[in-house]
Amino acid sequence: MFFVIRGEVILERPGLQGFSVILQRTRRGFVSEASLKSAKYHCRGQVVANAKIVQIPIRQVRDAMDSDPAFAGRWIGMLNKEVKRLRLQCERLSLTKVQDRFVHLLETEGEDGRFPIGGGIKSLAAELGVTHEALYRCIYAMEKQGKLKRTKTHLCLVMA
């Protein structure tokens, strides 16, 4: 298991249609925490933006959960946040329009409408389940309409 201190790491799995599906994107936090109780993890981790990562021995985490109720409680709290994030992702992927998915991401996972580009627009498109061409068109249209500002590092919703 790993902890991302800074940068960006994704977990991806080959999709049925030949392209990878991004299951997790982490800018700060644990990666592959689901491997805690698994003999084998079925995703591939990839650093998509310069990162500092610490490897966490799974055996020590398992032992701490078994012997330290306070640690186990904090671990459950962290997993609760991840479940909430995944539910937002499911909600987002149920939206049919690219712009709706994109705005949902900026509003729910950004800070005050600011979302770090990190691994780039192509990686972001994969997370949204759309083609990168469709996302580029969406971003361009929103910029032209004055609804979005793009910097080198962030995509920012323009609040009216």
Cα distance from N-terminal residue to C-terminal residue, the chain:
42
Q: What residue numbers bound the domain in which 58 lies?
A: 1-94
Contact 136, 144 (CB under 8 A): no
Q: What is the CATH number of the domain that holds 63?
A: 2.60.120.10
Do residue 28 and residue 80 come from a single domain?
yes
Same domain, 13 and 88: yes
In this structure, the dihedral spanned by the alpha carbons of residues 134, 138, 140 and 142, taken in order and rounded to 10 degrees, is: 180
| Predicted confidence (pLDDT) per residue in 64-85, tens digit | 999 999 999 999 999 998 889 8
Write out pLDDT tens, residues 99-158: 999 999 999 988 888 998 877 898 889 889 899 999 999 999 999 999 999 998 899 999
pLDDT tier at 160, thresholds 50, 70, 90: low
- Whether 118 and 160 share a structural domain: yes
Q: What is the mean pLDDT of the chain?
A: 89
- Is residue 4 within 8 A of residue 31, CB to CB? The reply is yes
